[in-house]
Amino acid sequence: VRVYIAPHNVIVQCSKGEILADVIKRVIPEFPTPCGGRGFCGKCMVKVIQGELSEPTGNELLHKIPKGFRLACQARVLSDLFIEIPAIGKLKVLTSGIEPKIDEIVPLLKVTAVRLEKPTLESPIPYDRMLSRLVGSRDIKPRVIKEMSKKDLRKTDKLKVLLRNGVIVNITSHERRVLGLAVDVGTTKIAAYLIDLDNGENLAEGYVLNPQSKYGDDVISRITHVMRDQNKLHEMHELTIRAIEELARKLCKELNVDLKDIYAMSLVGNTVMLSILLDVDPSPIGTAPFTPYLSMSLEGYGSELNFKSLGDAWFYIPPSITGFVGADAVADIVTAKMLGVIPPSLLLDIGTNTEIALLMEDRVVVTSAPAGPALEGGNISCGVKSLEGAIYRVKVNEKGRIVEYKTYGETPIGLSGSGIVSLIAELLRHGFLSKSGKLIKDLGNSFEVIPSKILITQKDIREVQKAKAAISSGWRMLLEVAGVSVNDLNEVFICGSFGSNIEPRDALTLGLIPNIPLSKVVILGNSAGTGARLMLKSEKARRMAENIVNKSVFVEQALHPNFMKVWLDSLTFGN
Ligand code: FES
């Protein structure tokens, strides 16, 4: 059967009985399914103009959906269909960030050019021995021997030998480039960077939406799917590996280079993403004591992770600290440290799960804060992701009128997380919102940004307040545990897409970050991606990652006797 999707003007072919949301996502990956199709959030509502769908489910009835509308994640397609969904633009994705200068490029694989001598009857040295002698290695991987036979070394004399910790892991012809791929496997998007391993030059970068998003926007939704059905784990794993290969192929095509020239990969992500990457059950991270199966650094051939086109590439995954402070947070910290951070400084990677680190001289004190989806537009009546059409800045005058708003693209469709923060900060600054989070009487229960179209409600503000409380109680607890005062802080680093989109002044007004001079706030951009690149290029960065984990102290906030008091204090806006 065929599904026609307006206003996008696309027709998708599908089988009878398929879930409508799955069908839509095949052509419009940005179509929102925040709760992963469990029927809880109601954000996947579509208008059915014509055609037959399965009977409404219990969850749909609970949502009291208007006549003619259905939840796409609940309805199954039974005939040709004509539906209308909201206009959905492309997601604004941040891939770049500040990259520190590296004193010495020491890539993950050492590349040594050699000239082979032809074996003779007088000196019949086997090829593996000859190679090992030339590069001073004692070990060689079996697949290199196979590769030698494929290259027919009797005909070649110049080669590049690729070594990892003194072991020959690959060889290539001397004229081929040796490339590396750094990958940040985020919950929302997968960003990849192509790098020349000879000189550390960044050649290309790009991203794709994480295809696991059909199982929900956040890691908990994905874990829930795996808990219900282990096959979903394998499906998510397969989707992720193929998405990385597809992205790598696209970057190689842009540069007109061969995918086979990628010989090394560094992969960072949170522990749930890394578990899925390894096809390992992430469920233990979803329940107390939130302990993942993996936390140590891992390396090996891509084929061990089920890569096909990148099966011969040597991968490196840096270590994680704990269940909710993964290798992506370690990559953030590596980036900040290589930029020359002066301790004590604070680092925040703000998201549904916010990682917070206090960087001290001799240790790193870390925690994670379950901020929830409000700061990414989730659970907010007119909240949207950072899509085209999302309002990301708002200016209010002293009369309580909107004087300006900025939108990605043309037509406003809702408020992005940074737009919500901007609006709340403006309302606070002009006295329309009290520090306790109450809109002033004259405004009633909501504030309109675009009359009858886009507004923020009192309930939305409470959601943001809870997110703010989670984050600021996180850094307050770290400062308390380490005996550091806000005045001692040298810098505050903000990482990640959301953090890079907010105005630092707004973050200060809300009290998302400590009250320090604006000049001390550093926006790092996608520092997890930067850290992944650094770990591909620099031995110092890889050693630093190990060191950070060894010297980290995780603070479980809920166990601290002052937690409840600090959390309640943190509910107030401002510092
Ligand atoms: S209700 Fe359909 S994705 Fe949440």
d(CA 426, CA 510): 10
Bridge partners of 390, per DSSP, are: 414
Q: What is the pLDDT of residue 217?
A: 85
pLDDT band at 272 (very low <50, low <70, confident <90, very high): very high
Return phi, psi of residue 326, to 5°.
Answer: -95, -165
Taking CA atoms only, the protein residue closest to ligand 1 atom 1 is 39
The least confident of 232-241, 409-418, 426-435 is 409-418
Q: What is the pLDDT of residue 566?
A: 95
Amino acid in position 550: N
d(CA 557, CA 470): 10
For 300-339, give the DSSP string: EEGGGGT-STTTTSEEEE---SBTTB-HHHHHHHHHHHHT
Residue 568, number of CB atoms within 10 A of its CB: 11
pLDDT band at 388 (very low <50, low <70, confident <90, very high): confident
Model pLDDT for residues 199-250, shown as the tens digit of each residue: 999 999 999 999 998 888 889 999 999 999 999 999 999 999 999 999 999 9
Tokens 């990682």 appear where? Answer: 355
- 356's tokens: 């917070």
CA of 63 to the centre of ligand 1 (A): 10
Q: What is the pLDDT of residue 403?
A: 84
Q: What is the pLDDT of residue 523?
A: 92
Q: What is the pLDDT of residue 549?
A: 97
pLDDT band at 40 (very low <50, low <70, confident <90, very high): confident
Residue 400 has pLDDT above 90, yes or no: no
Mean pLDDT of the chain: 93
CA of 163 to the centre of ligand 1 (A): 48
Taking CA atoms only, the protein residue closest to ligand 1 atom 3 is 33
- 221's tokens: 């939704």
With a CB cutoff of 8 Å and minimum separation 6, the contacts of 571 are 436, 437, 465, 466, 468, 469
Measured in whole angstroms, how far is the alpha carbon of residue 168 from the centre of its chain? 33
pTM across the whole model: 0.89
* Integer-rounded Cα radius of gyration of the chain: 26
Give the CA-trace dihedral at 328, 333, 335, 340, to 10 degrees. Answer: 180
Q: Which residues have any ligand 1 atom within 6 Å of their CB?
A: 33-35, 37, 39-44, 71, 73
The least confident of 133-137, 165-169, 407-411, 494-498 is 407-411
Query: Candidates 20, 30, 35, 379: which one to mutate for ligand 1, based on the most atoms within 8 Å of Cβ?
Result: 35
- 404's tokens: 């300006």
The secondary structure of residue 488, as a DSSP letter, is G
d(CA 78, CA 150): 53
Q: Which atom of ligand 1 is nearest to the CA of 63?
A: 1
pLDDT band at 9 (very low <50, low <70, confident <90, very high): confident
Bridge partners of 266, per DSSP, are: 182, 316
Q: What is the pLDDT of residue 462?
A: 96
Instruction: Reduce the secondary structure of 36-79 to three states and give it as a string.
Output: CCCCCCCCCEEEEEECCECCCCHHHHHCCCCCCEEECCCCEECC
pLDDT band at 409 (very low <50, low <70, confident <90, very high): confident
The least confident of 101-110, 331-340, 401-410, 422-431 is 401-410
Q: What is the pLDDT of residue 297?
A: 97
The secondary structure of residue 19, as a DSSP letter, is B
The sign of the CA dihedral 202, 203, 208, 211 is: negative
Q: Which atom of ligand 1 is nearest to the CA of 36?
A: 3
Return phi, psi of residue 368, to 5°.
Answer: -125, 150
Model pLDDT for residues 125-156, shown as the tens digit of each residue: 999 999 999 999 989 999 999 999 988 888 88
With a CB cutoff of 8 Å and minimum separation 6, the contacts of 147 are 170, 171, 312
- 32's tokens: 């929102």
d(CA 516, CA 19): 50
| Total residues belonging to the chain | 575
Q: Are 210 and 188 in contact (CB under 8 A)?
A: yes
CA of 215 to the centre of ligand 1 (A): 10
Q: Are 35 and 63 in contact (CB under 8 A)?
A: no
Mean pLDDT of the 346-366 span: 95
Q: Which atom of ligand 1 is nearest to the CA of 59?
A: 1
Model pLDDT for residues 312-353, shown as the tens digit of each residue: 999 999 999 999 999 999 999 999 999 999 999 999 999 889
pLDDT band at 480 (very low <50, low <70, confident <90, very high): very high
Query: Candidates 19, 41, 53, 217: which one to mutate for ligand 1, based on the most atoms within 8 Å of Cβ?
Result: 41
Q: Is residue 251 helix, strand or coil?
A: helix
Tokens 């680190």 appear where? Answer: 357
CA of 409 to the centre of ligand 1 (A): 26
The least confident of 22-31, 128-137, 198-207, 253-262 is 22-31
- Whose CA is closest to 374, among 501, 462, 493? 462
Mean pLDDT of the 428-449 span: 92
Q: Which atom of ligand 1 is nearest to the CA of 74?
A: 2
Bridge partners of 264, per DSSP, are: 180, 314
Q: What is the DSSP pairing of strand 158-164 with strand 167-173?
A: antiparallel
CA of 198 to the centre of ligand 1 (A): 47
Percent of the chain with pLDDT over 90: 78
Q: What is the pLDDT of residue 251?
A: 97
Return phi, psi of residue 396, to 5°.
Answer: -115, 140
Percent of the chain with pLDDT over 70: 100
